Chain A
Amino acid sequence: MNKARIFFIVLAVVLGLTLGISPAMAQKGKPIKIGFMGNLSAPFSLSAQAAAKLAVEEMNASGGILGRPVELISEDTKGEIPKGIEVYKKLVMHNRVDAVVVAEKVEMGVAGAQIGAELFREFPHIMFCTIGGTDDIWHLVRDNYDRYKFAFHTYYFVATHYLQILGGQILPDFHKNYIGSKKIALLYEDMAWTQPIRRGIPGVSPSLKDIYKSKGFDVVYEATISLDQKVFSTLFDDITKSGADAIDGVMGYIDQASFIKQWAQSSARDIPWFFWGGIAGMPMAWKMTDGMIAGGSIGSSFVKVPITEKTIPFMDNMIEKYKVGPIFGSHTTYDTLFGYRKALQQAGDTKDIEKVIHELENVKETAVLGTIGWDAKNHHNLPYPAYVTPIVQWQDGKMVPIYPKNIATGKFMSPAKLRK
């Protein structure tokens, strides 16, 4: 057989696979289809995918939705927008899903919202974006409700809530009453999601710096860190010189392991830090930093603390059944699907999309992190105290919940004391 024939046979096989249909599900009745799309080489999307599978498995075990089985169709976007758009069209136009879950960074969510808006009139569906801290999705809904009413966003804190709730209420309380600090060093990572936090949102909230000032804190240092930055030693020297007694890091994607290791060996090693999220809030952070993370505080939903009756079973099942840690994006995906189920049950039908949207705007369901539900006008999920992300501190190799009080199991300790 010559090379050309081999090539065309391979091409035929490849085409067959391309056109192939995912394994048929042996279930009775017309299933309610949920599409999942994420970058399946990224830990957060893999964790969210496992959460979606777990949610669907639990729903089917308890009789499905409206007596119908639930089918999950997963697709890999490879983190590329053209592929993501392709996948979105496949799920909505070919698989005819009732809802699409976009569990990937927010650029994929906004790309999905654009394509979804094009498709919505002919292919009514719901889109849930379950990862991403920017305000873009709900701003689309706020600014053009009729076009984007199918889009819902679930996240721990979107930028506006970060400013209004985390910055406006939680962090001042945490710094003043838990750490006892008065002088703050503010660090931001150079990404779009931190921009409203750095600059404030006109007519909505001042910047984080101004919020701290209004709460009686002295912001003695402020810097923006590039995602590529690996050397932080001069930064720590400057923070020490500024007289700061706490570091607030609006950071989730920088090289936190390098940051923490250099902090622990710098002149700023006794200045406690708080991060909003990232790898520092995962169990492997202790090993990754050789224990140098001791004393650091972080917002983490990875800690096993019973916020509701669903929290611990969810975390156990994720690890037991799917061998995946419940990192960011997993709670939001799982909770979103149960919120969707309740909305469908209240709507009594999946066909009347307007009714489904109306129910989603009014639904409230017990979730892993509190209560899931969406704002009726803006379609972001109900924020803290409805949806809780615990603040934990690394103490003796463990993440100890220290905030809020109702779920705290320990108290804040200074890094110097913990090192002893």
Chain B
Amino acid sequence: MVSVDLKRDRVLLRWGTQKYEWCIEPRYWRNPTFGVAFLLILPLFFFSYPHLLTMLTTANLLAALAIPLSLQILGTARVNFGPQFYLGIGGYTAALLNLSFGWNPFFTLLGTIFVCGSVALMLSPITWIARGLYFSLITLILPLAFLDLTYQFGDIFRGEVGLFGMSPLFDLGRVKWNYLSYYYLSLFLMLLYLLGAHKITKSRFGVSLAAINENENVARMMGINVSFYKVIYYVVPSILTGIVGWFIVHTFRSFAGVTYLPLEFMLKVLFIVIIGGRASVFGAVPGAYAVSIIEEALRSFGHISHWVFPLVLVAMIYLLPRGEGLWGLYKKRHPRDYYPKMHVRRE
């Protein structure tokens, strides 16, 4: 029935025809453990700096936006220039359900998942009919059109003011404890996305994705249902993006499309993907932290930071290994620390 095999570098568990394996060789799990431990203890240094704790929370959320985007780029073989559209859909859904119907954060989360999933499913055929520049342009327009709607339907979305006064996720009685718990919750969300994305890229599903990414026609000839995969990889990351909107609504307690829907916000997420390293979903984490920390550091320089910040980001893109970013820089020095897996080429 169930058999357990202890190999040199892994534990194998067989149950009927199913096989599960866990890597136990230290060099494969040491660095991720250190990384997660570092992120877990990081707030201890920033407990007296609640604003920096908020910055780190925002960095986690930015990473949580970049991870599904990376996965979506891989799975649909298309660059989505408007993932913040679903951030807006998720945020406004959670806010409206909370303010209008008094739903608590758990039910607004369910509502957010449902609405984001439904909207993404309705729009998913664009992954079939458009590719390359056309797909990017369509996805670019979606959040901008939604932003216009927030003005036109001001009764519902309250235009530039946005919605505010939503109930918090929880209240521990002390604001510092609340902010600390928001950090850990955002970290949990980000790590969950990261783990999920990593598992997917390593699985059989990931092999199919790699094939689609390389050449859709060849993938189709191999028997992969390309259309189905593309819908899945458009809908699921859209839902994950919407959940970040839900999180923002119940932690910041105000949500205005004018902040999240314009192109500037999307550019920041794209910069995170590229600086972190678009060749790996792990790149989103160093990318988000680097961009957030640099932005915060440059803010003390006053208004010159408004043009210095983008220059620094452009310089980083130029100086870091092309396509590999910060993650690639690190990985190159520790090539044996990574479990061998199929390499997905990304142009």
Q: Interface of A with B (CB < 8 Å)?
A: 3-4, 7, 11, 14-15, 17-20, 22, 40-41, 46, 75-76, 78-83, 85-87, 89-90, 93-94, 105-107, 110-111, 113-115, 118-119, 122-123, 134, 136, 140, 190-193, 195, 226-228
Whether B51 and A89, one on each chain, are in contact in the complex, defined by CB atoms closer than 8 angstroms, is yes
Contacts A4-B330, A107-B254 known; 13 new A-B pairs at CB < 8 A? A18-B293, A19-B49, A20-B300, A75-B299, A82-B248, A82-B259, A86-B55, A86-B58, A107-B161, A107-B256, A107-B259, A191-B151, A226-B151
Stretch at the interface among B13-21, B216-224, B302-310: B302-310
Kindly name the residue among B162, B254, B265 whose own CB sees the greatest number of chain A CB atoms within 10 A: B254
CB distance from B268 to the nearest CB of A (A): 9
Stretch at the interface among B103-111, B115-123, B152-160, B200-208: B152-160
B329 at the A/B interface (Cβ < 8 Å)?
A: yes
B258 at the A/B interface (Cβ < 8 Å)?
A: yes
Residue of B nearest to A85 (CB): B252
B54 at the A/B interface (Cβ < 8 Å)?
A: yes
Whether B161 and A87, one on each chain, are in contact in the complex, defined by CB atoms closer than 8 angstroms, is no
CB distance from A45 to the nearest CB of B (A): 9
> Considering the chains assembled together, what is the distance between the CA atoms of A140 and B161 in angstroms?
13
With contact pairs A15-B293, A114-B165 given, residues A107 and B306 touching in the complex (Cβ less than 8 Å): no
Whether A195 and B50, one on each chain, are in contact in the complex, defined by CB atoms closer than 8 angstroms, is no
> Considering the chains assembled together, what is the distance between the CA atoms of A46 and B306 in angstroms?
13
CB distance from B152 to the nearest CB of A (A): 7
With contact pairs A14-B293, A76-B299, A90-B50 given, residues A192 and B259 touching in the complex (Cβ less than 8 Å): no
With contact pairs A76-B305, A119-B175 given, residues A190 and B152 touching in the complex (Cβ less than 8 Å): yes
B42-69 residues with Cβ-Cβ distance < 8 A to A are 48-52, 54-55, 58
Whether A40 and B254, one on each chain, are in contact in the complex, defined by CB atoms closer than 8 angstroms, is no
Selected contact of A111 from candidates B54, B254, B290, B296, CB within 8 Å:
B254
Whether B252 and A82, one on each chain, are in contact in the complex, defined by CB atoms closer than 8 angstroms, is yes
> Considering the chains assembled together, what is the distance between the CA atoms of A90 and B51 in angstroms?
5
Whether B303 and A85, one on each chain, are in contact in the complex, defined by CB atoms closer than 8 angstroms, is no
With contact pairs A4-B329, A111-B164 given, residues A93 and B303 touching in the complex (Cβ less than 8 Å): no
Measured between beta carbons, the chain A residues less than 8 angstroms from B296 are 18, 86
> Considering the chains assembled together, what is the distance between the CA atoms of A83 and B155 in angstroms?
26
B297 at the A/B interface (Cβ < 8 Å)?
A: yes
Kindly name the residue among B51, B290, B302 whose own CB sees the greatest number of chain A CB atoms within 10 A: B51
Whether A107 and B258, one on each chain, are in contact in the complex, defined by CB atoms closer than 8 angstroms, is yes
> Considering the chains assembled together, what is the distance between the CA atoms of A106 and B258 in angstroms?
12
Selected contact of A192 from candidates B158, B290, B305, B330, CB within 8 Å:
B158
7 cross-chain pairs, A with B, having the tightest CB-CB distances, nearest first? A192-B159, A90-B51, A17-B297, A111-B254, A40-B303, A41-B306, A81-B259
CB distance from B186 to the nearest CB of A (A): 11
CB distance from B37 to the nearest CB of A (A): 18
Residue of A nearest to B58 (CB): A82
Measured between beta carbons, the chain B residues less than 8 angstroms from A105 are 160
CB distance from A394 to the nearest CB of B (A): 28
B309-345 residues with Cβ-Cβ distance < 8 A to A are 326, 329-330, 333
Main secondary structure of the interface of B (DSSP, over half): helix
Selected contact of A110 from candidates B164, B168, B297, CB within 8 Å:
B164
Whether A81 and B254, one on each chain, are in contact in the complex, defined by CB atoms closer than 8 angstroms, is yes
Whether A114 and B254, one on each chain, are in contact in the complex, defined by CB atoms closer than 8 angstroms, is yes
CB distance from B257 to the nearest CB of A (A): 10
Measured between beta carbons, the chain B residues less than 8 angstroms from A83 are 58, 295, 299
Task: List 27 A-B pairs, Cβ < 8 Å.
Answer: A3-B329, A11-B293, A18-B52, A22-B300, A40-B306, A81-B252, A82-B58, A82-B248, A82-B259, A83-B295, A85-B54, A90-B49, A93-B51, A93-B176, A94-B49, A106-B160, A107-B254, A107-B256, A111-B254, A111-B256, A114-B164, A114-B253, A118-B178, A118-B253, A136-B161, A192-B158, A195-B154
> Considering the chains assembled together, what is the distance between the CA atoms of A385 and B61 in angstroms?
48
Beta-carbon contacts of B157-182 to A below 8 Å, as 1s and 0s? 01111101100100000111011000
B9 at the A/B interface (Cβ < 8 Å)?
A: no
For the side of the interface on B, what is the size category? 35 or more
B25 at the A/B interface (Cβ < 8 Å)?
A: no
Residue of A nearest to B179 (CB): A89
Residue of A nearest to B299 (CB): A76
Measured between beta carbons, the chain B residues less than 8 angstroms from A3 are 329
Whether A89 and B259, one on each chain, are in contact in the complex, defined by CB atoms closer than 8 angstroms, is no
B133 at the A/B interface (Cβ < 8 Å)?
A: no
Measured between beta carbons, the chain B residues less than 8 angstroms from A114 are 164-165, 252-254
> Considering the chains assembled together, what is the distance between the CA atoms of A190 and B178 in angstroms?
37
Whether B297 and A81, one on each chain, are in contact in the complex, defined by CB atoms closer than 8 angstroms, is no
CB distance from A100 to the nearest CB of B (A): 13
Measured between beta carbons, the chain B residues less than 8 angstroms from A87 are 51
Kindly name the residue among B55, B160, B300 whose own CB sees the greatest number of chain A CB atoms within 10 A: B160
Whether A118 and B175, one on each chain, are in contact in the complex, defined by CB atoms closer than 8 angstroms, is yes
Measured between beta carbons, the chain A residues less than 8 angstroms from B330 are 4
Selected contact of B154 from candidates A41, A136, A192, CB within 8 Å:
A192
CB distance from B154 to the nearest CB of A (A): 5
Measured between beta carbons, the chain A residues less than 8 angstroms from B54 are 82, 85-86, 89
Whether B148 and A226, one on each chain, are in contact in the complex, defined by CB atoms closer than 8 angstroms, is yes
Measured between beta carbons, the chain B residues less than 8 angstroms from A191 are 151, 154, 159-160
Measured between beta carbons, the chain B residues less than 8 angstroms from A118 are 168, 175, 178, 253
B6 at the A/B interface (Cβ < 8 Å)?
A: no
> Considering the chains assembled together, what is the distance between the CA atoms of A354 and B257 in angstroms?
35
CB distance from A125 to the nearest CB of B (A): 12
With contact pairs A14-B294, A15-B297, A20-B300 given, residues A195 and B159 touching in the complex (Cβ less than 8 Å): yes
CB distance from B161 to the nearest CB of A (A): 5
CB distance from A340 to the nearest CB of B (A): 23
> Considering the chains assembled together, what is the distance between the CA atoms of A206 and B344 in angstroms?
63
Measured between beta carbons, the chain B residues less than 8 angstroms from A134 are 161
Measured between beta carbons, the chain B residues less than 8 angstroms from A227 are 151
Whether B159 and A18, one on each chain, are in contact in the complex, defined by CB atoms closer than 8 angstroms, is no
CB distance from B260 to the nearest CB of A (A): 8
> Considering the chains assembled together, what is the distance between the CA atoms of A179 and B158 in angstroms?
35
Measured between beta carbons, the chain B residues less than 8 angstroms from A110 are 161-162, 164, 254
Selected contact of A46 from candidates B253, B300, B303, CB within 8 Å:
B303
With contact pairs A107-B256, A114-B165 given, residues A94 and B303 touching in the complex (Cβ less than 8 Å): no
Measured between beta carbons, the chain A residues less than 8 angstroms from B305 are 76
> Considering the chains assembled together, what is the distance between the CA atoms of A46 and B148 in angstroms?
27
Measured between beta carbons, the chain A residues less than 8 angstroms from B329 are 3-4, 7
Whether B160 and A107, one on each chain, are in contact in the complex, defined by CB atoms closer than 8 angstroms, is yes
With contact pairs A111-B252, A111-B254, A122-B175 given, residues A106 and B161 touching in the complex (Cβ less than 8 Å): yes
